[in-house]
Copies of this chain bind each other. A is one copy, B any other.
Amino acid sequence: MLKNMKLIDLEREKMKSYQEFSKVELEDRYNDLLMQYNQFKNKNLSLNMARGKPGATQLSLSNDMLDVITSHDELGEYRNYGLLDGIDEAKDFFGDILNVSRDEIIVAGNSSLTLMFDQISRGYTHGYLGEAPWCRLETVKFICPVPGYDRHFAITEHFHIEMIPVPMIDQDLDVDTIVNLINSDPAIKGMWACPRYSNSTGYTFSKKSVEALAQVKPAANDFRFFWDNAYFVHHLNNDGDELLDLFAELKKYNNEKYIFEFFSTSKVTFPGSGVAVMACSAENKVDVLKHMNVQTIGGDKINQLRHVKYFKEPSGLVEHMKKHAALLKPKFDIVIKILNEKLKNVPNCYWTNPNGGYFISLFAPKGTAKKIVQLCKDAGVILTDAGAAYPYGQDPEDSHIRIAPSFPAENEIEEATKLLAICTELAFIETFL
């Protein structure tokens, strides 16, 4: 990943070259880009880089999982009602990955998003561990590191929770600001976090940040980190980013009740047919199950077993992720290569180069992101809406664009990224003309 100092040097370099352009040269450049843009338009592209969907070849990596449970297997009571918090095999399997014990994990249905929604819904309707339900409070707030994940923000918006965006700085959390907020404001009941290969920057929270979070003294007893480890095992390179285990750190300070941690196999096996889990303190688990017991008889135990049998050991899942990386890395490389080539001269424009996850963030020159996304759309390439990575869809700098290169084919990514680069420079020059 680029280091911040380098970014600043790069910006100086870029500024110089653009400042050297005469008005005429700028117009020439603009007209040249416009011609290229129109050539793209004539191709009648229809590409989608909006969502973090695995590509078809990735999905096929897990096809054999469909064969591991057949009518010949002795499934016994796993075919029946019961086992609200999941089968022991799955609790052990995912507990091993997340470094928690059986009484600190709930293995559930097919969606960690649902687990997060339901957990916030429970806070809203009933409250945590005897605290007041949030629907009875005047104001409830969540801290939202930005750029973040639009589906997180959609949940908090749905429950009328005020979102406090806290911009990432130096490719990390602004942890001082965050800890101050948590420790001082009793209306702050939660913080969204995607700690490793964050959606949508790909940044991983630093050791220093996690250590600081672990030592919070929340003003609200019912404050929780919504620790969405969606990309926990989703490295693109062999030497993936280190991430300190917040749950383990919290335990050092008797703070373990402040976390709900989420994980799923949606981007390991099949989205929609995967297994989602939540880890939390034993005390929280008892509280959560009390509510879950009214809502469901439990997740799909056969599918839980299907996953455990398929991977055999957690190491099997880790190995499986290397196959995903082999398919994803070239796609990320194409995007990075083209952005490096085409946008190196555009000032105030930079992008992330993550070691994992599903997204690259492009920070376009201020005030151009909406325009760029629209230009791309008009030429047949759908990107995530500008602003989507911010609460209420409002990027105050109108700069951020999330790039999701997993789904399209490599040649399509190349086309789409070239178009994106053209649109970015076009939109930038337009601010001068």
Residues of A bordering B, CB below 8 Å: 51, 53-54, 56, 59, 62-67, 69-71, 73, 76, 78-83, 109-111, 113-114, 117-118, 121, 124-126, 133, 135, 151, 154-155, 158-159, 266, 270-273, 291, 294-303
A113 near B295 with CB under 8 A, answer: yes
A294 near B154 with CB under 8 A, answer: yes
The distance from the CB of A6 to the nearest CB of chain B, in whole angstroms, is 35
Set of chain B residues within 8 Å of A117, measured between Cβ atoms: 294-296
A300 touches which of B79, B81, B159, B272 (Cβ 8 Å):
B272
B59 near A66 with CB under 8 A, answer: no
B51 near A81 with CB under 8 A, answer: yes
The distance from the CB of A266 to the nearest CB of chain B, in whole angstroms, is 8
Contact flag A114-B273 (CB < 8 Å), given A64-B71, A80-B53, A109-B109 = no
A-B contact pairs, 28 of them (CB 8 A): A53-B80, A53-B82, A59-B80, A63-B71, A64-B71, A66-B302, A67-B71, A79-B270, A80-B272, A81-B272, A82-B272, A110-B299, A117-B294, A121-B121, A121-B125, A125-B135, A125-B159, A154-B294, A155-B294, A155-B295, A266-B297, A271-B297, A272-B297, A272-B298, A272-B299, A273-B300, A300-B303, A303-B303
Identity of the chain B residue whose Cβ is nearest the Cβ of A291 in the assembled complex: B158
Contact flag A110-B109 (CB < 8 Å), given A66-B73, A271-B80, A291-B158 = yes
A272 near B71 with CB under 8 A, answer: no
Set of chain B residues within 8 Å of A70, measured between Cβ atoms: 66-67
Set of chain B residues within 8 Å of A291, measured between Cβ atoms: 158
Tell me, in angstroms, the Cα distance from A71 to B61 when the chains sit together. Answer: 10
A111 touches which of B62, B154, B155, B297 (Cβ 8 Å):
B297
The distance from the CB of A245 to the nearest CB of chain B, in whole angstroms, is 27
Tell me, in angstroms, the Cα distance from A298 to B113 when the chains sit together. Answer: 10
Set of chain B residues within 8 Å of A126, measured between Cβ atoms: 158
Identity of the chain B residue whose Cβ is nearest the Cβ of A64 in the assembled complex: B71
Identity of the chain B residue whose Cβ is nearest the Cβ of A76 in the assembled complex: B56
Set of chain B residues within 8 Å of A69, measured between Cβ atoms: 66
Tell me, in angstroms, the Cα distance from A73 to B67 when the chains sit together. Answer: 11
Set of chain B residues within 8 Å of A155, measured between Cβ atoms: 294-295
Tell me, in angstroms, the Cα distance from A59 to B75 when the chains sit together. Answer: 10
Set of chain B residues within 8 Å of A118, measured between Cβ atoms: 295
The distance from the CB of A213 to the nearest CB of chain B, in whole angstroms, is 26
B80 near A71 with CB under 8 A, answer: no
Identity of the chain B residue whose Cβ is nearest the Cβ of A274 in the assembled complex: B300
The 5 A-B pairs of least Cβ separation, nearest first, read A63-B71, A117-B295, A81-B271, A273-B302, A59-B79
Contact flag A110-B300 (CB < 8 Å), given A51-B81, A71-B64, A117-B294 = yes
Apart from A65-B71, A113-B296, list 18 A-B contacts with CB within 8 A. A53-B80, A54-B80, A66-B69, A66-B70, A66-B73, A67-B71, A79-B270, A79-B271, A81-B271, A81-B272, A82-B272, A114-B295, A117-B294, A117-B296, A154-B294, A155-B294, A272-B297, A272-B298
The distance from the CB of A161 to the nearest CB of chain B, in whole angstroms, is 12
Tell me, in angstroms, the Cα distance from A241 to B113 when the chains sit together. Answer: 41
Tell me, in angstroms, the Cα distance from A159 to B133 when the chains sit together. Answer: 11
B297 near A113 with CB under 8 A, answer: yes
Tell me, in angstroms, the Cα distance from A272 to B143 when the chains sit together. Answer: 36
Set of chain B residues within 8 Å of A76, measured between Cβ atoms: 56
The distance from the CB of A28 to the nearest CB of chain B, in whole angstroms, is 44
Set of chain B residues within 8 Å of A109, measured between Cβ atoms: 109-110
B79 near A272 with CB under 8 A, answer: yes
